Amino acid sequence: MQRTTRRAAPAVLTGLALLAAACGTGSDDAADQVPITPSTTAAPPATDAAPVTEGPPATDAPVATDAPASTVAETAPPTTIDPAEARTIEQVNEYIAAAAAFDQAGADVQFPQGLTFAAGGAPGYSRYVFREHSEGVVPTLVEGPIDGTVRCQDAALPCSYRDLKELHTSGADLPAALQMNADELATLVAQLDELNAFAEAHRDVQDACAAGFVSDRIQTPNMGSHFYNIDTIGNGFDPGEPEILLYAKADGTLPDGALDQCEDGVWTGEPMVLVGTAFIIPPQVIGDDHPDTFAGPLDNWHIHYNLCRGNAEGRDSFLPKSQCEAQGGNFSEALGWMLHAWVADDFDNQLGVFSMWNSTITPVLDPDTIREYREVRGSDFPEGAEQSLIADFLYSGELTVAPGQPLFFNNVDAVPHTVTAGTPSDPDLDEFDSGLLTPGTNFAVTFDQPGTYSLFCTLHPDMVASVTVTGS
């Protein structure tokens, strides 16, 4: 595919500017959206020079010209708009109207209603995750507030517990990516210090068992095993008393099957090491809206849906309820709001103190590679394709493909987007255009010729990206 260059009509530029303003208001009312309509413009006719009079000239007097008073300049003919550009304007207007009418579920805890989903997403990196099993595609995760998440998962940013403490102590300016002020950081660090004190008091797994924690018997890679204190789950949020402690095998290996259990307050299994903490709060205790708990915007709580807990086998899976129970699993339609907090001294997490994953826990990985291992793909995923997740108002992933290799875009954000050829000032919907991608929908495009190709979202013009197609 070779993108052709075409001059954008001024009406397109104006329309996209209006759209950006409309998106910035967060309005869901279609009446608030300003439609884009093609128009013709004409140069104003020249007028006769005004006579010169004594005294100060009027401030709005036209400037005299050398033209004779009896001569009037011809009116310029109206400009016309390219039919293809008119179609672009009309199509963008349709996207605006459809996006304005999109009925997002009102509560953070819910998925959009009335949509047909396709598998996709990445736990810990996208608002939604959809998985495919024998009975179709089902939602399996929602993460973060519906009005946008702040993911501090860049190893170059001060996102870990240790980094945040050092940043607070230094008094240095806070990176804009954290989206918090110094007072919020001070409160957050104090909360995390309180949590760290609790964790260090339970560094020995025997202390956890004695305090009433019990293992789920499943050690998840890059996460550990959840030890729950059932007695505190209904108490609400307390940064100094997490409902979950996270442990992993001390020898750095993954278990072959289920872990052992606390029996009468005593751990009977292999040596374990404390790796982190976590919280779980039922919606009936804290509500359906995203929990407002730790200071600042970094804590993205999540809820698991349609999860089959295979505690006896030592692994989770995503099976229909009937199959899960037939295999002896425990099926959960929805778990409570959950959040990991990596404050254990020996497992400081460069993916962020509240990340779902910790790259320092078995299997130890480069932080930049975690998302690749967590991406979900369904049966509709093109063979040999590269994937770009549309999440947090970004086209993420490696946007480099070979000629003929499909690039698969998967919208797992909270709102609709598009994948459209060109740029906001030079759109080219005829080259390729996904149409409106609601959450849980996909779009694939293939390029035939090497080169660099621009794309953007017609609904959010600040969402831009480029695709590099390598030589054949």
Q: Say if residue 318's pLDDT is above 70.
A: yes
Judgement on whether residues 346 and 321 belong to the same structural domain of the protein:
yes
Judgement on whether residues 215 and 324 belong to the same structural domain of the protein:
yes
Residues forming beta bridges with residue 267, ordered by sequence position: 262
Half-sphere exposure of 101 (CA within 13 A, CB side): 8
Which position has the higher pLDDT, 55 or 152? 152
Sheet holding 407-411, edge to edge: 394-395, 386-391, 407-411, 441-445
Q: Say if residue 9's pLDDT is above 50.
A: no
- Asked if residue 73 is part of any domain, the answer here is no
327 three-class SS: coil
How far apart, in whole angstroms, are the C-alpha atoms of residue 257 and residue 248? 14
Label residue 82 by pLDDT band (50, 70, 90). Answer: low
Average the pLDDT over 16-40 and give the result: 32
What pLDDT shows up at residue 10?
29
How far apart, in whole angstroms, are the C-alpha atoms of residue 149 and residue 141? 15
Residues forming beta bridges with residue 328, ordered by sequence position: none
CB of 426 closer than 8 Å to CB of 6? yes
Mind listing the pLDDT tens digit for each residue in 397-452? 779 999 999 999 999 998 899 999 999 999 999 999 999 999 999 999 999 999 99
Query: Measuring CA to CA, how many Å separate 367 from each of 153, 298, 340, 355?
Result: 9, 18, 16, 11
What pLDDT shows up at residue 312?
81
CB of 459 closer than 8 Å to CB of 418? yes
Judgement on whether residues 258 and 353 belong to the same structural domain of the protein:
yes
CB of 431 closer than 8 Å to CB of 1? yes
Judgement on whether residues 387 and 460 belong to the same structural domain of the protein:
yes
How far apart, in whole angstroms, are the C-alpha atoms of residue 237 and residue 279? 8
Label residue 153 by pLDDT band (50, 70, 90). Answer: confident
Judgement on whether residues 126 and 171 belong to the same structural domain of the protein:
no
Long-range contacts of 25-29 (CB under 8 A, 24+ apart): 26/147, 27/100, 28/100, 28/102, 28/104, 29/100
Q: How many Cβ atoms sit within 10 Å of the Cβ of residue 104?
A: 17
**CB within 8 A of 242, min separation 6: which ones?**
195, 198, 199, 277, 278, 279, 341
- Tokens at 224, concatenated: 């550990």
Judgement on whether residues 289 and 390 belong to the same structural domain of the protein:
no
Q: Which domain holds residue 413?
A: 90-139+377-471
Show the beta-strand stretches assigned E in 252-301: 262-263, 266-267, 272-281
Q: Is the peptide bond before 363 cis (omega within 30 degrees of 0)?
A: yes
1 secondary structure, DSSP code: -
- Helix (H) or strand (E) run with residue 146 in it: none
Query: Measuring CA to CA, how many Å separate 225 from each of 74, 154, 178, 203, 216?
Result: 82, 25, 29, 14, 7
- Asked if residue 432 is part of any domain, the answer here is yes
Judgement on whether residues 414 and 332 belong to the same structural domain of the protein:
no
Judgement on whether residues 385 and 466 belong to the same structural domain of the protein:
yes
- Tokens at 335, concatenated: 């778990």
- Asked if residue 8 is part of any domain, the answer here is no
What pLDDT shows up at residue 40?
29
Judgement on whether residues 174 and 277 belong to the same structural domain of the protein:
yes
Label residue 315 by pLDDT band (50, 70, 90). Answer: confident
CB of 192 closer than 8 Å to CB of 343? yes
Judgement on whether residues 317 and 400 belong to the same structural domain of the protein:
no
Half-sphere exposure of 192 (CA within 13 A, CB side): 30
288 secondary structure, DSSP code: S
Backbone phi and psi for residue 387, each to the nearest 5 degrees, phi listed first: -120, 140
Question: Which class for 109: exposed (0-12), middle (13-18), buried (19 or more C-beta within 10 A)?
Answer: buried
Q: Among 362, 392, 420, where does a domain finish? A: 362
The alpha carbon torsion through 349, 351, 357, 359 (nearest 10 deg) reads -60
Average the pLDDT over 449-471 and give the result: 95
Count of domains forming the chain: 2
Half-sphere exposure of 163 (CA within 13 A, CB side): 21
How far apart, in whole angstroms, are the C-alpha atoms of residue 175 and residue 181? 10
Judgement on whether residues 191 and 122 belong to the same structural domain of the protein:
no
Average the pLDDT over 324-329 and give the result: 91
Average the pLDDT over 86-92 and give the result: 79
How far apart, in whole angstroms, are the C-alpha atoms of residue 397 and residue 387? 7
What pLDDT shows up at residue 113?
76
Judgement on whether residues 292 and 168 belong to the same structural domain of the protein:
yes
- Tokens at 415, concatenated: 């709102």
